[in-house]
Every structure is written in structure tokens, then in C-alpha cells.
Amino acid sequence: MINPTRILFIHGSESNSQTYKAQVLRTRFPEIIIPDFSGPLNVRMAQLANIIKDESGWTLIGSSLGGLMAALFATQHPGQVRRLVLLAPALNLPEFAHRLPKPVKVPTVLVIGMKDDVIPGETVRRLAKRIFPKLTYLSVDDDHRLHHTADTLDWQGLLD
């Protein structure tokens, strides 16, 4: 069961807590935590760790670079994450792709747009499948931002 106070959305690199996806998620889960992240990846990861602390039962939803952050955190702290939703995650970046973490059994949903021209969808899907054996893959008719998809996904079903 979802703990509504332990749902965290992690935005992408050129984004913030006020994006369209963040607004969509806020309407569905009013208690969701949507912080602003800034700086290089290591600084953002420290900000994320400071939010999560030693609490468990987190549902992490990450978009683009935020998806990379969620995936990295889950592989480093699998006992704290109950579910991952990765929206066009940047798993192709060297921080993940060149240093593949050990597989973790965190239930994971991967959503990639067929028109995404930012991340290589098939590469990301293959990487995710190797690391997250409990992977559900959704290929959607959308671009990298997934704005159309954000509105139409069954968020409750994805997070349960």
C-alpha cells in the first residue's frame, strides 16, 4: 500500500518542482514531496539522501535525470524503496551505464516515449532490464517530456 507521505517526484536537469508532470502528480497525490534539485549529479544525490534519510517505504518517481537519480538511489539503498517509476530516465549516462550497479528486486515501471529524441529508448530499456528484474515496460506515443502521457497514465495503478 502506498504511503502518500513517502512519494517523491524527482524532476529532470533543466526542470524544477513546478513542471507539468509535477502539477499532474500533485493533483493526484496532494501529499507528494516534490523538491527542487540543483547542481551536478553528486550534489543532487546528496540532496535526495538528505530528504529520504534512513526512512523506508519510498515510492520514487523520476523523470530524465531525476529517473537516473531514482535508479541510482534504489540500487544503493534497495531496502528503502518500495517502488520506482522511471519516466524517460537518463540511464544511458556514464554514471549508470558505465558502472552498472548490482541488480535489485525493487518493482520498477519504465515509461519511454516512442518519439523521444533525448534518450536512446532501446538502450535504456536493456539497461533497466538488467538491473531491475521486476521491470514493467511501457512504450508510449509521446516525446521525452511525456506531457501527454503524464495526463493519461493510471498513476494509482502504477504506484500500488
Query: pLDDT below 70 — which residues of the chain?
Result: 1
pLDDT for the residue 3: 78
pLDDT for the residue 41: 97
* Spatial contact of 49 and 24, defined as CB atoms under 8 Å apart: no
**Quick one: CA torsion of 57, 23, 109, 8, rounded to 10 degrees?**
-20
Query: What are the tens digits of pLDDT across the range 129-159?
Result: 999 999 999 999 999 999 999 999 999 999 9
pLDDT for the residue 44: 98
3-state class (DSSP) for residue 117: coil
pLDDT for the residue 2: 74
- As separate numbers, helices (DSSP H) first and strands (DSSP E) second, the chain gives 7, 5
Separation CA 129–CA 136 (nearest Å): 9
Q: Which CATH class is domain 4-159?
A: alpha beta
pLDDT for the residue 1: 66
What are the residue boundaries of the structural domains of the chain, listed by start?
A: 4-159
